[in-house]
Every structure is written in structure tokens, then in C-alpha cells.
Amino acid sequence: MSDGRHIVGVDLGGTTVNVGVVPFDGGPVLGMRSVPTEADKGPKFVVDRIVNLIRDAMRDAQKEAGIAEDAFVGIGLGSPGPLDRRTGTVIDTPNLGWRNFPLRDLISNAVGLEAELDNDANAATLGEWWQGAGQGVSTLVGVTLGTGIGGGIVLDGKVFHGISDVAGEVGHMTIDSTGRRCKCGNYGCLEAYASGPAIAARAVEGLQSGEPSLLPSMVRGELARITAETVYEAIVAGDDYAKEVMRDTAKFLGTGIANLINILNPGMVVISGGVTRAGDRLLEPLKAEVRRRAFSHASENCQIVTSSLGSMVGVIGAACMFRQERFGDL
């Protein structure tokens, strides 16, 4: 299937950088590596780290698969936004602390390969479409759950960017106009209910008002140490209160996803991120909320699934994005 050409995919996140080498026509990722971003050490540190990871991944891929040195056609970069794809600049990324940062050209020049930049959630959604859960679905929406909530929209097999590369910012959709305060300054954003930190914050609030739970003992009484991960572990341990926190999370997500379904009428919504480990405990109440809130003629035609590519998805999607930008639609 492959003609020997390969693309480097880079998935830059606030916490982790993933890098791998992706065959031009798809297939197993080579030389995959995943390291902490350590954004607090400054942009130069992060760029150097990415450049080294790319070189290491290319070297490993050459060893693993005997790829010729000139078979690397370029680099696809997925980064938190907002960003300007045309200039390859990250405009403003609170999680990294960067402003107007020319990420694409710095990486491209250092490695000596052409590069393209897009939003990380756009890349992840494209990855699901190309090689993951969304194969064969022309129109899908990806929702990435983490420190923030991102989104990507793929229409007819292409990322939909809107007119200034902002389309798909689903985390700051209002679902409760007078509701919880969001980090962005507004009230009632989806992210203020269902991001990792928001799940933890809601859990702590309930504990402070006296809900019985295993959670306090799991963090030796230091409630500030509770994370979405702790809530998940409490569910595994059978904690009823943690299950209730997850059901509420599912309802909030279901409300946001119902909005996306009413507006975009996609064939699939792919959810990714650590919280999806909760499986049906998340998905079943989420789907029930969607059925309540979305037009039946839309929700009946929309599969809601979790990512099938895991931590690979951003790398695969970034490579796909580079391919589409430089070699045309797939």
C-alpha cells in the first residue's frame, strides 16, 4: 500500500508532546515517542525538544522500517490554538503561555522539512476520520476532553476552519448562561462543567457540602489534590458519589453534543480524552441526554463513540493534515 513516503506527525499539548512517523497512505506509526511538554521552561526549550523528538523519531523509523532519508515529505504540527494557519503562527495559547509564536517555521527550518500547522483538536478529528473511529463517515465532529475542551469539525473529509481558523471551539459553548464561572471569564461554558479540572471542582464542592464518599480518604483529606483521575479511580472502587459526578458530567456533555448535532447534523461524534475510560458509565447517560435534547431525525443518524486511536490520534491526524494541505484531498 505504501510507496515509501512518510510524514512526521507532531501533537503538541499543554502537558505532553507526541511525535511519530506516519506512512503516507496510513498504517502503523513508527518511532512513536511521548514526553512532557514542560512549557514552563519557555518556548525555545519546547521548540528544541520537539526538533529533537522529530529527529529521534525519524532515525528510529529509518531503523525500524528501512525508510530512505529522502522519503520524509514533511511535518504536520497540531498545536493548541487559536492560531493562524497561513503564517504558521500560534496566536495566543494560555496553556503554553505563547503569543504570536512562529512555531511552524521554527520547526521547519530546524529540521529542514516543510511543515504545516493546525489546531490540535482539528488534527485529532481528522485522524479519527482517516484511520480511526470515523473511517467512512464524511461529516463528523470530534470533542477532546482534557484540561480544556476542544473540538474539530470534518465536513466531506476535510477540516472545516471557518473564516479565521476558530471553527470548532466547542468548549466555550454556553450551556448554562447564568451558570458556573469558566476560566475564560464567562459563565456556563461547557468547559466549566466537563473539563478535567471542572469535574474535580464539582466533585470537591459536593464533598464540602457533606456528600459521603471514598474520595477524601483517597487524597488523605487534601481535597485540593482530587483530579478527574481520582474521581475515575473512586468509580472503579465502587463509590456512589463519584458515579453521580460522572453521571452529571455525562449530562453536561450530552447537552453540548446535542447542540452540535442540532447545528451540524453530523454522522458521528467522536469523544476522546482520559474521561472516556469511564466507558458506558459516561456514554450511556450522555446518549440519553442527547436523545432528549437533539432533533430525533438528527440524533438517530449520529453515532456517538469514543476515540479508537488513543494517544496516537493527534500524530496521525497532524500527518493527514500535512498530506491534505500539500497533496490534495484524500
* Residue 149 φ/ψ, nearest 5 degrees: -120, 120
To a second copy, the closest distance from the beta carbon of 83 in angstroms equals 9
Judged by CB under 8 A, does residue 128 bind a second copy? no
Q: Are 207 and 219 in contact (CB under 8 A)?
A: no
Cβ proximity of 281 and 240 under 8 Å: no
- Judge residue 5's burial from the number of C-beta atoms within 10 Å of its C-beta, 0-12 exposed, 13-18 middle, 19 or more buried: middle
Shortest reach from residue 68's CB to a second copy, in Å? 39
- Alpha-carbon distances of 317 from 60, 190, 284, 322, rounded to whole Å: 20, 24, 27, 9
298 neighbors 262 (Cβ within 8 angstroms): yes
As a whole number of angstroms, the distance between CA 119 and CA 84 comes to 9
Take residue 201 and report the three cell numbers written for it.
471542582
Q: How far is the CB of 278 from a second copy (least distance, A)?
A: 20
Interface with a second copy, residue 160, by CB under 8 A: yes
Show the CA angle centred on residue 166, arms to residues 193 and 175, nearest 5°.
25
Closest approach of a second copy to the CB of residue 128, in Å: 16
Q: Taking each helix axis from N to C terminus, what angle separates 280-293 and 240-264, rounded to the nearest 10 degrees?
A: 40
Q: Can residue 170 be called a binding residue for a second copy (CB under 8 A)?
A: yes
Quick note: the x/- pattern for a second copy over 41-80, rule CB under 8 A, is ----------------------------------------
298 binds a second copy (CB under 8 A): yes
Q: How far is the CB of 304 from a second copy (least distance, A)?
A: 14
Q: How far apart are CA 254 and CA 68, in angstroms?
A: 47
Q: Verify binding: residue 100, a second copy, rule CB under 8 A.
A: no
- Closer to a second copy at the Cβ: 48 or 160? 160
| 271 SS3 class | strand
Q: Which is nearer to a second copy, 89 or 230 (CB)?
A: 89
Q: Does 305 bind a second copy (CB under 8 A)?
A: no
Tell me if 176 contacts a second copy by CB under 8 A: yes
- State which residue, 292 or 326, has the beta carbon closest to a second copy: 292
**Cis before residue 102, ω within 30 degrees of 0?**
no
Of the residues 127, 165, 253, 324, which one makes contact with a second copy according to CB under 8 A:
165
Q: How many residues bind a second copy (CB under 8 A)?
A: 50
Q: CA-CA distance, 86 to 18, in Å (whole number)? A: 23
In the region spanning residues 222 to 261, those forming contacts with a second copy, defined by CB under 8 A, are 251-252, 255, 258-260
Q: Which is nearer to a second copy, 122 or 307 (CB)?
A: 122
Positions 191 through 210 that interact with a second copy (CB under 8 A): none
Q: Residue 139 interacts with a second copy (CB under 8 A)?
A: yes
Tell me the window of 2-10, 37-45, 150-158, 223-231 that interacts with a second copy (CB under 8 A). 150-158
Query: For residue 86, with 0-12 CB atoms within 10 Å meaning exposed, 13-18 middle and 19 or more buried, which class applies?
Result: exposed
- Which residues are near a second copy by CB under 8 A? 82, 91-92, 138-139, 151, 153, 155, 160-170, 172-179, 185-186, 188, 251-252, 255, 258-260, 262-267, 292-295, 297-298, 301-302
